[in-house]
Amino acid sequence: MNGIKSFFTNKWTKFTLASVAYLLLFVVWTGNLWLLIGLPLIYDAYISKLFYRYVWHYNDDLRKRSKIYNSVYEWVSAIIFATVAATLIHLFVFQLYVIPTSSMEKSLLIGDYLYVSKVAYGPQVPNTPLSFPFVHHTMPFSQTKKSFSECIKWPYHRLKGLGQVERNDVVVFNFPAGDTVLLENQAVTYYDVLREYQREFGEVEGRRRLNEDYTVISRPVDKRENYVKRCVGIPNDTIRIIDTELYVNGEKQIDLPGKQYIYFVQSSSPITQYAIDNLGITEWSGSGSYYYMTMTEEAAAKVKAMPNVTSVTRYNAQSPLPDIFPSAEGYEWTQDNFGPLWIPAKGSTVTLTTENLPLYRRIIEVYEGNTLEVAPDGTIYINDEPTDKYTFKMNYYWMMGDNRHNSADSRFWGFVPEDHIVGKASFVWFSRDKETGKGIRWDRLFKKIR
């Protein structure tokens, strides 16, 4: 026993174990050879102790002489350690996220607190490492002051994870259209407002007026708003929506118990609030004989079986909207009748035409950083070179909310690049019903997300 104890208390054993752990966690996992510079520091901490001998021993002497200094030192060191540890866990292990909207009901409810695993797909090295801890993009008690510095900007690099994004995973990601923000009205999407201005005033004048009316700012990838949706399409999939039903590679999407749609309900007499509550319907309007209800197929079948209900019809958007992706002429798509659309995969090549260019233009220009121009004769120039092909540098995904008629998702703003993926929503660790004031939803605690 004494031999084992002396082995693990030996300074060379401690140095070896600390060095191996450091190499595996920070050099091998991150793939950053610059972090090898940490090994001399570990050697000094356990073996040579030069820093302690010439600098740090003054701190220990002062702690022995002053009780006040020692007390302050212990508090400060504890706070620094806790901050650093929590920050590393937040960046590389997991993140806690609360559901703010109903776009995923009934799968996820407003007030659900999610455990988001970053190791599931591999954590990202932050794009902006210099930032205020425990906040996202804005300083506490402020609506406009940013919480990060762009003095140091690191390129996209994802560490190795436990797996890849799979079809029908519930994923947390940075909002792709959140690269540009109206500072005075951050609840809206910049590109939607820009299109409204341009429809009213013209392309050039509309942009100018928008810049006059608002302060327009940009945000790096890791500081864009976090969204949570279901990944319904992975790289190389082809998706299509026909009469509200999603098809992936020609096959209908698997049944999801929480998936909801808007239904028109007609009845011969009023439907009571008691009956609506019993069916778990939280989004509805109407009275008398005509109602709009957001509900699952199961709930719709129960409503249809009610003796005073004469018809139940699912809403099916037929009229194209200018805000439906790709927001271009020639694409008469709606949120309920959409596609077909191929999802790009890293290394795959697409033949570009003026017809399909609107689908992939944002990828080429914004997400992958190229210049793109179309000559009057239709010739496409990428980085000033004429071409009719493009090879993608990243994987892309298609995200949709389970509350299909009340979700701002890929149908409106397009593909989600792999460098925007934050992590996998694993389980609900806490849930509170703020809407009705019923308090904690005990039946949802530690519920696995499917």
Q: What is the DSSP string of 393-406?
A: SS-EEEEE-SBTTS
Whether residue 425 contacts residue 171, with contact meaning beta carbons closer than 8 Å, is answered with yes
Q: Is the pLDDT of residue 30 over 80?
A: no
Q: Express each pLDDT in 96-146 by its tens digit.
A: 999 989 999 889 999 999 999 999 999 998 999 899 888 888 988 888 888
- Percent of the chain residues past pLDDT 90, beyond the cut: 69
pLDDT band at 36 (very low <50, low <70, confident <90, very high): confident
Q: What whole-number distance in Å separates Cα of residue 408 and Cα of residue 321? A: 13
Q: Express each pLDDT in 134-193 by its tens digit.
A: 888 898 888 888 899 999 898 999 999 999 999 999 999 999 999 999 999 998 999 999
Residues whose CB is less than 8 angstroms from the CB of residue 183 and which lie 6 or more positions away in sequence, other chains included: 144, 214, 215, 216, 217
In 10 A of CB 421, how many CB atoms? 26
Q: Is the pLDDT of residue 392 over 90?
A: yes
Burial (CB < 10 A; 0-12, 13-18, 19+), residue 148, is buried
Q: What whole-number distance in Å separates Cα of residue 204 and Cα of residue 202? A: 6
Residues whose CB is less than 8 angstroms from the CB of residue 323 and which lie 6 or more positions away in sequence, other chains included: 192, 195, 412
Mean pLDDT of 403-420: 96
- Percent of the chain residues past pLDDT 70, beyond the cut: 98
pLDDT band at 34 (very low <50, low <70, confident <90, very high): confident
Q: Is the pLDDT of residue 388 over 70?
A: yes
**DSSP string for 345-396:** -TT-EEE--TTTHHHHHHIIIIIS---EEE-TTS-EEETTEE-SEEE-SS-E
Residue 344 per-residue DSSP state: P
* Residue listed under structure tokens 């205020």: 132
Q: Would you report the helix, strand and coil content of the chain in percent, each value rounded to 5?
A: 35, 25, 40
**DSSP string for 272-341:** PHHHHHHTT--EEEEETTEEEEEEEHHHHHHHHTSTTEEEEEE----S--TTSTT--TT----SSSEEEE
Mean pLDDT of 314-326: 91
Q: Which residue has the higher pLDDT, 45 or 384?
A: 384
Mean pLDDT, the chain, whole residue set:
92
Read off the amino acid at residue 251: E
Q: Is the pLDDT of residue 437 over 70?
A: no
Q: What whole-number distance in Å separates Cα of residue 373 and Cα of residue 363? A: 14
Q: Is the pLDDT of residue 1 over 80?
A: no
* Residue listed under structure tokens 């990202």: 124
Res 9: pLDDT: 76
Phi-psi region of 156 (alpha: psi -120 to 50; beta: other; left: phi over 0): beta
Q: Is the pLDDT of residue 373 over 70?
A: yes
Res 158: pLDDT: 92
- Six-digit token string for 449: 């997300």
Q: Which residue has the higher pLDDT, 7 or 121?
A: 121
Q: Express each pLDDT in 332-370 by its tens digit.
A: 999 999 999 999 999 999 999 999 999 999 999 999 999
Res 2: pLDDT: 65
Q: Is the pLDDT of residue 12 over 90?
A: no
Residue 168 per-residue DSSP state: T
Mean pLDDT of 304-311: 94
Q: Express each pLDDT in 249-290 by its tens digit.
A: 999 998 888 899 999 999 999 999 999 999 989 899 998 899
Res 32: pLDDT: 75
Burial (CB < 10 A; 0-12, 13-18, 19+), residue 104, is buried
Q: Which residue has the higher pLDDT, 30 or 369?
A: 369
Mean pLDDT of 69-94: 91
